[in-house]
């Protein structure tokens, strides 16, 4: 009793201390500076020290401490890396020091110490606020920056509300807030990284401090924004663009990209809290297959366990998990299970016993194991910042892996606990933290990320040649290296459907491309219409998962009557036909960090009309996706970017740079395709292992001249692509008034597909072609009853020529002569 009251008191007083800010100590004038290496300079100011490090031409790190010296350097986000040598030029003048590093100059004015970043045309990209700059107060650190009137802010990871964050303030403190609203902040994840975009040019800032931190983007005062944390160093990275994509590439160079996910994880995923028994799980699986609604993953929520003990089964409701999972696998389903961090304190429970023995649990300052209540009752919590604890956790998956489980849903890892007002672990609990032995206050925001790391690494050790699929609720910057993420406990409402767009977009451009929101909404019951519209959005969120809270009516895609079942089937079919495109976009994200879901302004930063646009988005660089996000409507407006666009459904041509209104009946999500796009699709399958992408169809959209796209593929499951077992080819189209030539280049890489056929669709050919040549030889038009493997056909209504060719690793050239 006393101890829990004491805990309360500590927490309450900590809260107050963060609200009642003391006097800010400005860092003062520069008294001296010296180069620590070719890339690093340290400034000594009156009240603090500042270090500038040029990592490459384009990434600059700024550190400020008011302690005697900088703390030992460590980061959970930044990957270990040897940066190429750089030799920035340093020019010292009485008033300022200028450091020139390729495309960026950093100007440090001396009285007082203020930093500005300039591009090589001399434009100030970002500058310390002249009267405030960097400062500290007690343990707190903060920097104020000048906020130009026409600058806008995006990113910040998982934040509710609108996409654009100008004039808002945000806190970073991983928090479990079921049924959050548009104004709820903070939420489950911490990604302290954002973009400033002004006049078509972007820069980025990553504030790598894991304590509770906050960002004020012009809410406190209209001419400034600021960020800072309760403790630790002011430690941030600056990334010049000039494009938002450049910023993201540099950021992910620093914190890493998502590994290529298994292809099956890009299929449709079905979840609920909970499918309570083997019998119900089989019913659900049959429900998909008998209704011919594709699905790849079924989830088991907390009730599959024995009294919520992680790594166990409730053997009365799941008497034969191995048999069930192998039957599901036979039907084309992977099984995913939830795992929570809390380990039930129970002397007879093997995970508790082995955890105690291996000393993996978090401890109070007095050295005893910390405990708190979650689902299983009193629990101990692994210290995921301790490598030994991570290994212990990872190894504990052995029996679930042997049972056949392949998806790992990491929940409650903010971490969330039930029995204290703060809803999380006491801030004075001790973590290993790379041998630094620091408090939960410092490690809270990385707890979930390190849990996913332990999960990913552990499962990968157990199944070395299968790509793990991990899904998490909480994480920190760089968490994409281990896990996909969903946006937590949303609500079955139209507002939450809209937030499903903006939240996933901001997460995507914050380095986490594998995202989705619970389709249909987690809490509450969606109408058939809301579910159907949400499912349509889900086609274009990399994670496509429907979920439901406990004690709510069934929300599977067939629960709303025939009209909706049919619409929902069409929607999920669309997802499966687009899988080759989706897989390619995920490949791109794994290589460059550039996500599938992109805000309009991310792709078109010069088009300022998109500054506040958050109800439509780019999917890759070729599709504009405009989901219906309001009740009772069957049409909507779409803002098309400059250029020429084609309606995905009708191929109708539009010139862009304007707003149009389009029909959106219940079974249709408006999608527009950029001129020159080459979109790969496949036939509908019931799951991703079934007859994968044979044939693949490359739909070539008209272009006035020529266009090129890459096509990547591999086995979709193993890591063999890392050793060259993939295939990559470029596809080009040239158009003239007389002929269209489509060339598929010779494949690079050693992956041999089992596919036999390729279709090429040339869109926008007004008359039946005069002839079609395949690699130099004329091929014939398909006639009914004919089954040659090389043919062409013409659809006079749709104005499309379709060519069928044999798959080959060699170059393929198709020439369509027309007039």
Active site residues: 411, 414, 489
Three-state DSSP class for residue 494: helix
Between strands 169-172 and 757-763, the pairing is unpaired
The nearest distance, CB 338 to ligand MIG, in angstroms, is 5
From the list 446, 456, 337, the residue with the least C-alpha distance to 383 is 446
Q: Which helix (H) or strand (E) holds 344?
A: strand 343-344
- To ligand MIG, the closest distance from the beta carbon of 438 in angstroms equals 28
778 CB burial (10 A radius; 0-12, 13-18, 19+)? exposed
Burial class (CB in 10 A: 0-12, 13-18, 19+), 9: exposed
Q: Do residues 455 and 408 touch, judged by C-beta distance below 8 A?
A: yes
For ligand MIG, the closer CB: 405 or 585: 405
Q: Looking at beta carbons only, is 411 or 807 nearer to ligand MIG? A: 411
Give dist(CA 613, CA 267) in Å, integer: 28
Residue pair 409/337 in contact (Cβ under 8 Å)? The answer is yes
For the record, the structure tokens of 207 come out as: 């504030």
Shortest CB 203 distance to ligand MIG, Å: 34
Give the nearest distance from C-beta 488 to ligand MIG in angstroms.
5
485 versus 537: smaller Cβ distance to ligand MIG: 485
State which residue, 385 or 413, has the beta carbon closest to ligand MIG: 413
Could you tell me which of 704, 556, 540 has the C-alpha nearest to residue 627?
Answer: 540
CA distances (Å), origin 104, targets 60, 120, 230, 338: 9, 6, 30, 46
Task: Give least dist CB 435 to ligand MIG, A.
Answer: 33
The nearer residue to ligand MIG, 60 or 338, going by C-beta atoms, is: 338
Rounded to a whole number of angstroms, the minimum distance from the CB of residue 176 to ligand MIG is: 7
For ligand MIG, which residue has the nearest CB?
Answer: 273
Determine how many CB atoms are found less than 10 A away from the CB of residue 536: 29
Please state the closest distance from residue 502 (CB atom) to ligand MIG, in A.
Answer: 19
Distance CA 536, CA 668 (A): 8
Q: Kindly list the distances between the CA atom of residue 431 and the CA atoms of 12, 217, 481, in Å, as whole numbers in the listed order.
A: 22, 32, 22
Q: Which residue lies nearer to ligand MIG by CB, 472 or 565?
A: 472
Alpha-carbon dihedral sign for residues 477, 483, 489, 490: positive
Residue number with CB closer to ligand MIG (105 or 517): 517
The 10 Å Cβ neighbour count of residue 23 is 7
Listed in sequence order, the DSSP H helices in 223-277 are 244-255
Q: 114 or 547: whose CB is closer to ligand MIG?
A: 547
| Helix (H) or strand (E) segment spanning residue 597 | strand 597-598
Name the minimum Å distance from CB 402 to ligand MIG.
23
Q: Nearest approach, Cβ of 412 to ligand MIG (angstroms)?
A: 6
The residue (of 308 and 604) whose beta carbon lies closer to ligand MIG is 308
**Nearest in space to 472 (alpha carbons), one of 176, 812, 704:** 176
3-state DSSP assignment of residue 721: helix
Strand-pairing partners, residue 314, are none
Can you tell me the distance from the alpha carbon of 222 to that of 197, in angstroms, rounded to the nearest whole number? 16
Which residue, 338 or 816, has its beta carbon nearer to ligand MIG? 338
Are the CB atoms for 759 and 722 separated by under 8 Å? no
Q: Give CA–CA dist 594/405, Å, rounded.
A: 30
Cα–Cα distance for residue pair 457/393, rounded to 1 Å: 10
> What six digits make up the tokens of 325?
């999972």
d(CA 189, CA 172): 8
- Length of the chain measured in residues: 819
Rg of the chain in Å (alpha carbons):
28
Shortest separation between residue 776's beta carbon and ligand MIG, angstroms: 57
The rounded distance, in Å, linking the Cα atoms of 503 and 72 is 34
* Closer residue to ligand MIG (CB): 248 or 374: 374
CA–CA dist 487, 158 (Å, integer): 7
Q: Least separation, in Å, of the C-beta of 66 and ligand MIG?
A: 39
E strand or H helix that includes residue 634: none
The residues binding ligand MIG (CB under 6 A) are: 273, 301-302, 338, 411-412, 473, 488-489, 522, 547
């Amino acid at each position: 009793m006393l101890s829990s009251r004491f805990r309360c008191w500590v927490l309450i007083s900590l809260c107050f201390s963060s609200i009642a800010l003391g006097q800010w100590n400005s860092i003062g004038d520069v008294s001296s500076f010296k180069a620590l290496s070719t890339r690093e300079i340290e400034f000594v100011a009156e009240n603090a020290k500042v270090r500038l490090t040029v990592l490459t031409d384009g990434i600059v790190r700024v550190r400020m401490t008011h302690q005697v010296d900088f703390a030992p350097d460590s980061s959970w986000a930044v990957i270990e890396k040897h940066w190429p040598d750089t030799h920035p030029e340093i020019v010292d003048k009485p008033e300022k020091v200028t450091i020139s590093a390729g495309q960026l100059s950093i100007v440090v004015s001396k009285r007082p110490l203020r930093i500005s970043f300039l591009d090589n045309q001399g434009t100030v990209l970002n500058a310390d606020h002249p009267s405030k700059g960097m400062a500290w107060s007690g343990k707190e650190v903060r920097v104020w920056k000048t906020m130009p009137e026409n600058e806008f802010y995006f990113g910040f990871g998982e934040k509710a509300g609108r996409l654009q964050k100008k004039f808002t303030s945000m806190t970073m403190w991983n928090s479990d807030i079921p049924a959050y609203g548009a104004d709820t902040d903070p939420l489950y994840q911490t990604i302290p990284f954002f973009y400033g975009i002004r006049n078509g040019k972007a820069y980025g800032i990553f504030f790598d401090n894991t304590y509770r931190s906050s960002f004020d983007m012009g809410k406190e005062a209209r001419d400034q924004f600021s960020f800072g944390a309760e403790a630790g160093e002011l430690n941030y990275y600056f990334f010049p663009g000039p494009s938002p994509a450049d910023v993201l590439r540099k950021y992910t160079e620093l914190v890493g990209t998502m590994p290529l996910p298994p292809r099956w994880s890009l299929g449709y995923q079905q979840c609920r809290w909970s499918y309570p028994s083997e019998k119900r799980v089989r019913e659900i699986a049959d429900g998909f297959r008998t209704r011919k609604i594709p699905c790849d993953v079924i989830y088991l929520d907390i009730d599959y366990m024995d009294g919520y003990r992680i790594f166990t089964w409730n053997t009365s409701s799941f008497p034969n998990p191995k048999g069930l999972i192998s039957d599901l696998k036979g039907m084309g389903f992977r099984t995913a299970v939830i795992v929570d961090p809390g380990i039930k304190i129970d002397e007879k429970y093997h995970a508790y016993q082995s955890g105690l023995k291996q000393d993996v649990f978090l401890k109070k300052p007095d050295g005893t194991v910390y405990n708190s209540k979650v689902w299983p009752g009193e629990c101990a919590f692994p210290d995921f910042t301790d490598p030994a604890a991570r290994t212990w956790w990872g190894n504990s998956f052995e029996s679930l892996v042997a049972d056949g489980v392949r998806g790992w849903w990491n929940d409650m890892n903010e971490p969330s606990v039930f029995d204290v007002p703060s809803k999380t672990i006491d801030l004075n609990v001790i973590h290993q933290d790379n041998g630094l032995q620091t408090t939960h206050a410092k490690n809270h925001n990385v707890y979930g990320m390190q849990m996913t790391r332990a999960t990913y690494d552990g499962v990968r050790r157990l199944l070395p040649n299968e790509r793990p699929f991990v899904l998490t609720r909480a994480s920190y910057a760089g968490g994409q290296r281990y896990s996909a993420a969903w946006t937590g406990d949303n609500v079955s409402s139209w507002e939450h459907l809209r937030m499903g767009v903006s939240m996933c977009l901001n997460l995507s451009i914050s380095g986490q491309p594998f995202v989705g929101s619970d389709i249909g909404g987690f809490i509450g019951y969606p109408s058939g219409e809301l579910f159907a519209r949400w499912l349509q959005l889900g086609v274009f969120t990399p994670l496509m998962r429907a979920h439901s809270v406990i004690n709510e009516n069934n929300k599977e895609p067939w629960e709303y009557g025939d009209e909706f079942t049919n619409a929902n089937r069409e929607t999920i079919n669309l997802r499966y036909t687009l899988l080759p495109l989706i897989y390619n976009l995920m490949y791109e994200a794994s290589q460059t960090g550039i996500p599938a879901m992109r805000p309009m302004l991310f792709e078109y930063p010069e088009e300022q009309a998109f500054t506040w646009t958050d109800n439509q988005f780019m999917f890759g660089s070729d599709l504009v996706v405009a989901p219906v996000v309001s009740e009772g409507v069957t049409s909507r407006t779409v803002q098309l970017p400059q250029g020429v666009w084609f309606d995905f459904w009708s191929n109708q041509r539009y010139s862009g740079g304007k707003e149009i209104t389009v029909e959106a009946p219940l079974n249709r999500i408006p999608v527009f395709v950029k001129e020159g796009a080459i979109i790969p699709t496949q036939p509908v399958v019931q799951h991703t292992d079934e007859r994968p992408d044979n044939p693949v169809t490359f739909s070539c959209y008209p272009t006035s001249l020529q266009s090129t796209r890459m096509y990547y593929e591999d086995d979709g499951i193993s890591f063999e692509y890392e050793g060259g077992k993939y295939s990559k080819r470029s596809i080009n189209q040239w158009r003239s008034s007389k002929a269209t030539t489509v060339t598929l280049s010779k494949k690079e890489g050693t992956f041999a597909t089992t596919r036999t056929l390729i279709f090429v669709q040339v869109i926008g050919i007004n008359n039946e072609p005069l002839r079609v040549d395949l690699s130099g030889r004329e091929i014939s038009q398909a006639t009914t009853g004919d089954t040659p493997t090389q043919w062409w056909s013409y659809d006079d209504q749709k104005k499309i020529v379709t060519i069928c060719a044999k798959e080959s690793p060699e170059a393929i050239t198709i020439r369509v002569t027309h007039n």
